[in-house]
Each structure stands twice: as structure tokens, then as C-alpha cells.
Amino acid sequence: MSACNNCTLYKNCSRVVFGDGNPEAEIIFIGEAPGKKEDELGIPFVGSTGRILDKMLASIKIKREDVYLTNICKCRPPENRDPLPEEVSECWPWLEKQIAIIEPKIIVTLGKYALNSFVPNVKISEVHGKILKINIPKLGELKIFPLHHPAAARISRKTRTLFEEDFAKIPSLLKK
């Protein structure tokens, strides 16, 4: 992955941010793409959104090092723009490989881009906080748990409340 040039995003980023955490995790958190700080450090979910995620994990007594964190696109888009559909599709096989290795019980998608990469044509406002069972040819049945993106939760008080309520459901989902 470090040498990937399957899409043009590799040209402007500092490094490929492939993921962080426990490769035997029961849960994967998947965001959209690395931001400035992630690009600098090579670690997903650092900086302000990372701090929100760390705080939420602490609130449900799960350590960051016990989960796995990654993004749909592994290279930072210029000026933090949204990833283009062709960039998402070129990067998708890397994510499939990560999921195949980790075999998580639950995949938590953060934000609409991550959600719609797994389940197109659904609105995050309608499905957040609910388990969606999907089938992907190379991976079999997956349980997707869509959450709002921590960056959106940082901006809007209403989204923050929904994000916290949904996040609190994770421990009981893992027990099931």
C-alpha cells in the first residue's frame, strides 16, 4: 500500500495513512480520508476529530489500541476536499484486504462517504445508529453500524448528541 499509485492522490500527500490499532480488533472504525495532521503523522484520527473519537472510546471503556482505525481513502485529498468516486473505488481493494485480515464483528462507518461506500443510496440521517447487514462478494456478510463523522459532531450540537447516543450502543452490539 505504501507504494500505491492507483489514483492521483499519492502525488500530493506526504504518505499513505494505512491504519492504526489492533489487527485482531472486534471493531473497525472507517472514516473518509486523512486530514492534514493524519498526513503529517501517518496515523488516522489524530488532531481534533481524533480527540473526539478518543474521548468517545473512553466513555464506553474501550481503548484506542483495542480497535482498528482506517479510512476509505488512504491518501490525503488536496485541501481536504472530498474524495472523488474514482479515488474511492481505486482504494477500495486495500480496505477489503484490511477487513479480510481483521475479520471484525462490527464495522463502524464515520460519516456519509464511508457509509455510502458500503451501502449506496442511503442517507446517514435515516440509518445512523442502526445495524445494516450487507453482503460483499469477497467478504461475505458484514454488519455495518453507521455513525456521524466526529468532525460533524464537533460543528453541530444536535449531531454531537446523536453521535454520542449512537456511540453508547457499541458495547451492547459487541456483546450480541
> How would you list the strands of the sheet with 68-71, edge to edge?
20-21, 68-71, 27-31, 106-110, 140-147, 132-136
- Which position among 32, 53, 62, 74 is part of the footprint of ligand SF4 (CB under 6 A)? 74
Q: Interface with ligand SF4 by CB under 6 A: which range of 37-45, 60-68, 88-96, 126-134? A: 88-96
The answer to the question of residue 132 lying near ligand SF4 (CB under 6 A) is: no
Nearer to ligand SF4 (CB atom), residue 39 or residue 87: 87
Cβ proximity to ligand SF4: between 69 and 91 the closer is 91
Stretch that binds ligand SF4, among 84-92, 115-123, 150-158, 159-167 (CB under 6 A): 84-92
| Element of type H or E holding 172 | helix 170-175
Contact residue for ligand SF4 among 25, 46, 68, 75 (CB under 6 A) = 75
Q: How far is the CB of 11 from ligand SF4 (least distance, A)?
A: 8
Residues ≥6 apart with Cβ < 8 Å to 171: 60, 61, 62
Q: Are 65 and 106 spatial neighbours (Cβ–Cβ below 8 Å)? A: no
User: Residue 96: which of 130, 43, 42, 137 has the closest Cα?
Assistant: 137
